[in-house]
Structure 1
Amino acid sequence: MTDLRSTLFEYDLHLLQIIANRWDVDLDTRDEKVAAERIAEAMLNPAQAEHEWSRLSDAERGALQMLLASRQHKMPAVQFGRLYGEIRQIGAGAREREKPHLAPKGIGEILFYRGLLAMGFDESKTGLQPYVFVPDDLAAVLPIHQTGYDLSAEPDDFPDEDDEEQETLTEGNDEDIEEVELEMEAPPHQHKADTTLVDDMTTLLAYLQVHETRLESGYLANELQDDLMAQFVGPKEYARLDLLIQLAGQMGLIAVVNNTFQPVRQTARTWLESIRTAQVKSLVDAWRTSEGYNELWLVPSLDPEATGWQNDPTLPRETLRGVFEAVTGETWVSLDGLVAEIKAVEPDFQRPGGDYSSWYIRERRTGEYLRGFESWNAVEGTLLKFIVAGPLHWLGLVDLGMDTPDGIPIACHLNVFGKAWAGHGDWPNRKDPETPLTLEASGKLLVPRAASRIDRFQLARFTEWGDPADPYVYLLNSKGFKRAEQQGIKPENVETFLQRTVHTIPPHVHALIENWRKAQGASAVIQKMIVLRVDTEALMEVIWETPEIRRFLGVKLGPLAVAVREDQWQGLMGAMQDKGIPVETEL
């Protein structure tokens, strides 16, 4: 931030006179620059600064000490104002008429008119916003280590303020932030994070490869979402599915082609061939910068309305990361304590200029709008907990702790991936174990989660999928072979794959593949059929040669049977009865 002289150079003569009176500086000049120089010289005198410090109340010193302890001795003006009162920005003419320095609205204005803090603008994560700050050179001479002065002999700072007003100033604007410890003991029940997001990303890519996924309004239809999630080994939640789809798009693993999601062959192959630790890192890196995945719009208890406002979903993620950077690796972190810490230190982490009125967000349960800072816990607090219990856990970064086995998360703990994400070490780089596939004599293939993701992706292209589990189950059968033909996969491709991955192909599987090879281009269908049977060939000849009856018939199935069109059997009965031929039905 700027120094004291540069700050005072921005002030008009009336404001400089107010500050000069407080610091016992005699201004006999109308030159603002000269006046600012004289005031700065007095304020930067350590003895005079100590004297002024001694005249502050405990509440005023506390506010100044908090500001001085902040990074770069500054704090967002909105946040400071919530704690110590808004500092009204008033022009010289209005200030001379209204005399706000004689009736300050809070501790903030008291300190401002003493010159001990100033207002300015600076860039923040949410854009340009106003800050309250103490100039660096002034901060260096203030005796912040001295507290507990006897103020009984001090005169009133502002003779116009009454007892009630003074009480308000010393109390400040407490936002009722409950003090909750950030760190806690390990909860009795824990849910360890895993890397199933990698496995389900593999499933997503395979599913999009073998299914035609027509999009509705640019996204998967609901029935396709449900069918896809049924194949996941991880949590079957829509917010998690959306995370996978958004990250796949951002990483270039999938693209929209002819209104369908389709894997991008080379990019997807490169990712599928990577080791698991690298795959986890790629997902985490994509999530950190993803703007397509917007957690605020996925929190179950919130119902945002698209009225033109926009939020930056990367800001809450980086805010959380900043807190975890300061947490020791083996500590369990209370989610309530985490929320309270951010509310106390950086409450406006996602609100440009601390604006809590321009976003239209309803509480889903009541339908009421959540406006103003009083809704912080319902919006920001809930969002932060959702990110921890959702994306951070799904990405494999944090374990969750609960009071009961099925309870809601109350704490989290960084695992080895989480520590790397938070800057507590290098990212793990472990080689994948050699994990073979198992081919049973029946044609059933068992694929452990630890197996190569590229092998499972390829296998899923020419097999029927079983229920998702560890190991995955895939079936070599005619249904899978038909899927293979649709993608241009030939029997020899399947044989080569099996020889590489399972080495020995059972005789029955050899026979299955050989029958597929012989039957390529042909097909067999099992279907229901209505059949007319007769006792003698002579009766069949009469029926076949009678046009009024024959029009209801299909192909002959032998000398005594003929197919009947499914929707024509009642007409056939009527025609035969009209010709005097008795007929019964067993339908």
Structure 2
Amino acid sequence: VLPACALLSENEAPIPAEVAQLAKLWWPLNSYAKIETYGTHLSDQGLTVPAENLYYPPRMDLVPRTLARYFPPLLETVIPSSQELPAELALPDAGVDIHIGNPQAFIRTVNQVLLLMDQVVTRLRPPMPRPRMEKFLTQLQDWNYVPAEIIAKKAQLRDRRGDIALTVPPPGRTLNDDALERLAPIAGGEAQLDFVLALLTAANVVQAGSPITLWPEGKQAYLQRPEAEQRALLARTYFSLENWTELWELLRMDGDLQLKRVIRSFYHQGTPQLIYHHLMQARNLVLRTLAHLPDNRWVPLSELQSLLRTLWPDFEREQHSPTSPFAYNRYSSWYLARGGTRLNAAQEADWMVAQWPFIRFMLTGPLSWLGLADVAMRQNEPVAVRLHGLADLYWARVAAPPFPTGVAGQQAAGAASASAPADATTPALAVTDATISVNPSAISARAHALFDKIAVLEDAAPGNFVYRLNVEAVHQTFENGQALADLADEWQTHFQHPMPEEIRAQLTAWWQSYGLVRIYADVTIIEFADD
């Protein structure tokens, strides 16, 4: 019963019938006649917190996050897991490919995109043209639309007759075609680029608007973080992200799947922000479930499907949650349809075309990109998942869990070479006179931040950044309190070899000249003297 209470306690006290339904997936409840009795015993042991007596019908005791973060993996005893892949998936002829998450590669991709946007003007895609009729039909404002549909329903919209369902198509890609062509190959594809931009915007590293502008303070603070802390920041940003949703990728991949919003005559007019919030809640329902699983163990997804099917029966479930113990809202402001027909929560086939693709994309997309999940795939379908540090991040147990190393004898492809320090004799780093050529994905963000202190980015190509020493950048670094010795120590730390002589010689000359002459403009001098 405790795992069931924990899974259903994110936003409010759980409903007893739902706790019983979930708990019966794992055990017969024969000890007591009422599910509430189990809750009383859990509360007596300090494992749950009594709910306020404001709900009708009454609710179960709940498991707040402050308690859940100290629990061991609650689903470990009810969902099978193993150190190795299940035998039927590990056979040579099973046709299973293991996709190992590589957080270091993702973080360096993010940093490469960030630095390229700082080098070249990057513009957003223009928004969808607004229909002229929205001046008179305010229900159309702020929403994407299907032109033919609103023309066909113009009279109904004008007269506000009954409930009107309108299709909300997915937005276009974030960047315009030129920027998309330049940056998508570096990011790993258009979907991953959109995700990276949403994270950087929500994390206040870049400023929303066109052209994209980097916050100098935000960029500097971000690049100064170790890579594990950067990953932790972006992962926590993803957990609460409301300017991007997995649903858009589902709609792009399945042309028959549609998001419908409902315009009602007098009640509950939804907004785009409300839908984003509901979809963020759906994401957290899945994350909360995964966060109760053990780390570094393979979990068959067939076992998770039945659990998530019970937890998330209809796609728009989260918007049904009451906003207070006294206010129940059962009127959907949106729903999913396939071929124009609303999906039926009672049909497993409909669940498999909506909720399951959403969960599947979370596993193979963001969680895999962030290095929080390894996924075993068979015929392009995930069949097992292995988590790394998700629970620690989700429950805020640690500031930044370390990157996973070899788990069960496997290592992320290329991770070893990517993490190896670059030296002056390898193609990763080349110094010629006052220029530094570097493979941007082969060095850490803090190494790029060091270059920002002593140079300017002169040329940026996907596989090669060229920095040139710059006296203004170096002067500002000295003004900020760093000395030549500090810069030399940073170089040694990031590249595991001393600073090249040609770089050191130029920085030494500037350091010796620093502060010899200072010119002050618009200064008032007050002279004091004794008579």
Q: TM-score, normalising length from structure 1? A: 0.47
Matched with 2:211 is: 260
Please say if 1:410 is aligned against 2:383.
yes
| 2:426 paired with 1:474 | no
Q: Confirm or deny: 8 A CA contact 1:210 1:461 kept in the other structure.
A: no
Judged with a 3 Å threshold, the aligned counterparts in structure 2 of structure 1 residues 371 and 297 are, in CA distance, closer, same or farther, namely farther
CA distance in 2, matches of 1:306, 1:349: 13
SS of equivalent residue, structure 2 residue 381? coil
Secondary structure of 1:313's counterpart equals helix
Cα deviations by residue, 1:315-363 (Å, 9 ceiling, x for unpaired): 2332223322332223212233322211124535851338697534344
Offset at 1:504? 3.1
Residues 206 and 330 (structure 1), Cα distance of their counterparts in 2 relative to 1, 3 Å cut? closer
Q: Which of 295, 300, 325 is the matching residue for 1:334?
A: 300
Cα distance in structure 2, aligned partners of 1:279 and 1:204: 14
**How far does the alpha carbon of each residue in 1:483-533 deviate from its partner, in whole angstroms, 9 at most, with x for none?**
xxxxxx846758999995552339xx99xxxxxxxxxxxxxxxxxxxxxxx
RMSD (CA atoms): 4.9
| Aligned residue number for residue 74 of structure 2 | none
Q: Given residue 456 of structure 1, which amino acid in structure 2 is its aligned partner? A: H
Give the superposition deviation at 1:464. Answer: 2.6
Question: Is this contact kept in 1: 2:112–2:440, CA < 8 A?
Answer: no
Q: Counterpart of 1:192 in structure 2: which amino acid?
A: I
Instruction: Map 1:94-173 to 2 at 5 A.
Output: none
Q: 1:373 to 1:261 in 2, by over 3 A?
A: farther
Question: Which residue is 1:230 aligned to?
Answer: 185
* Cα separation, 2, equivalents of 1:210 and 1:436: 25
Q: What residue number does 2:413 align with? A: none
1:388 to 347, 363, 383: 363
**Is it true that 1:462 corresponds to 2:462 in the alignment?**
no
Matched residue SS, 2:228? helix
Unaligned runs of 5+ in 2: 25-32, 37-53, 63-77, 91-95, 128-173, 263-269, 322-329, 404-418, 478-483, 492-498, 508-531
State the 1:189 CA deviation. Answer: 2.5
Tell me the SS of whatever aligns to 1:217. Answer: coil
Partner of 2:393: 421
SS in 1 for 2:465: strand
Q: Deviations over 1:251-303 (max 9, x none)?
A: 1101146x311100011101101101110100011111111121122222243
- Structure with more relative contact order (C-alpha pairs < 8 Å, separation 6 or more): 2
Q: 1:337 to 1:284 in 2, by over 3 A?
A: same
> Share of identical aligned residues, percent?
18
- Corresponding position of 1:505: 502
CA-to-aligned-CA distance 1:43-93 (integer Å, 9 cap, x gap): xxxxxxxxxxxxxxxxxxxxx9x99999799647799999x9xxxxxxxxx
Counterpart among 445, 448, 473 of residue 453 in structure 1: 445
- The secondary structure found in structure 2 opposite 1:402 is strand
Instruction: Report the CA distance shift for 1:253/1:78 in structure 2 as closer, same or farther (over 3 A).
Output: same
Q: Does 1:208 align with 2:174?
A: no
Given the superposition, is the C-alpha separation of residues 133 and 452 from structure 1 closer, same or farther in structure 2, using an over 3 Å criterion?
closer
Q: CA deviation at 1:393?
A: 1.0
Query: How many angstroms apart in 2 are the aligned matches of 1:399 and 1:318?
Result: 19
- Aligned ranges for residues 305-454 of structure 1 at < 5 Å? 305=260, 308=270, 310=275, 312-347=278-313, 350-351=316-317, 352-353=319-320, 359-363=334-338, 366=339, 368-374=341-347, 375-403=350-378, 407-415=380-388, 417-421=389-393, 423=395, 426=398, 427-428=400-401, 435-436=422-423, 438-439=429-430, 441=432, 445-447=437-439, 449=441, 451-454=443-446
CA distance in 2, matches of 1:291, 1:424: 20
How far residue 228 of structure 1 moved from its aligned partner, in angstroms, is 1.1
**Is this contact kept in 2: 1:329–1:424, CA < 8 A?**
no
Offset of 1:386 from its aligned partner? Answer: 1.4
Of 94, 101, 109, which residue of structure 2 is paired with 1:193?
A: 101
Q: Would the aligned equivalents of 1:356 and 1:373 in 2 still touch at CA under 8 Å?
A: no
Change (3 A) 1:341 1:68: closer
CA distance in 1, matches of 2:423, 2:217: 24
Q: 1:200 and 1:265 mapped to 2: Cα distance?
A: 19
Question: Quick check: 1:273–1:452 contact (8 Å CA) kept in 2?
Answer: no
Structure 1 residue 115: Cα displacement: 11
- Aligned residues, how many? 339
Q: Does 1:220 align with 2:215?
A: no
Indicate if the aligned counterparts of 1:246 and 1:293 stay in contact, CA closer than 8 A: yes
Conservation of the 8 A alpha-carbon contact between 1:76 and 1:129: no
Further displaced range: 443-452 or 219-228: 443-452
The answer (yes or no) to whether the contact 1:463–1:475 under 8 Å persists in 2 is yes
Q: Distance in 1 between matches of 2:193 and 2:242?
A: 16
- Partner letter of residue 283 of structure 1? L
CA deviation string 1:186-243 (max 9, x = no partner):
65421111123311221222122112223333642133123112233xx32x332222
Deviation digits for residues 102-130 of structure 1 (CA, Å, limit 9, x no counterpart): xxxxxxxxxxxx9999xxxxxxxxxx997
More displaced, 205-214 or 66-75? 66-75
Aligned to 1:292: 243
Q: Which has the larger radius of gyration?
A: 1
| Counterparts in 2 of 1:392 and 1:353: CA distance versus 1, 3 Å | same
Contact 2:109–2:441 (8 Å) recurs in 1: no
DSSP 3-state at the match of 1:243 = helix
- Tell me which residue corresponds to 2:222: 271
Alignment partner, residue 49 of structure 2? none
Unaligned runs of 5+ in 1: 1-63, 85-113, 118-127, 137-178, 482-488, 511-587
2:245 aligned with 1:245, yes or no?
Answer: no
Q: Deviation of residue 372 (structure 1)? A: 4.2
1: distance between equivalents of 2:7 and 2:465? 59
Q: Which amino acid aligns with 1:244?
A: V
> In 2 relative to 1, CA 281–339 (structure 1 residues): closer, same or farther, beyond 3 Å?
same
Aligned partner (choices 304, 319, 338) of residue 259 of structure 2 = 304
Q: Would the aligned equivalents of 2:368 and 2:374 in 1 still touch at CA under 8 Å?
A: yes
**Alignment partner of 2:283: what SS?**
helix
Deviation of residue 394 (structure 1)?
1.3
Q: Distance in 2 between matches of 1:241 and 1:403?
A: 26
| Residue identity in the other structure for 2:181 | D
Aligned-partner residue type, residue 260 of structure 1: P
Q: Conserved in 1, the CA contact under 8 Å of 2:316 and 2:335?
A: no
What amino acid does structure 2 have at the position aligned with 1:505?
E
Aligned partners of 2:315 and 2:181: how far apart in 1?
Answer: 35
Pair 81,423 (structure 1): closer, same or farther in 2 beyond 3 Å: closer
For 1:241 and 1:323, the matched residues in 2 are separated by 27
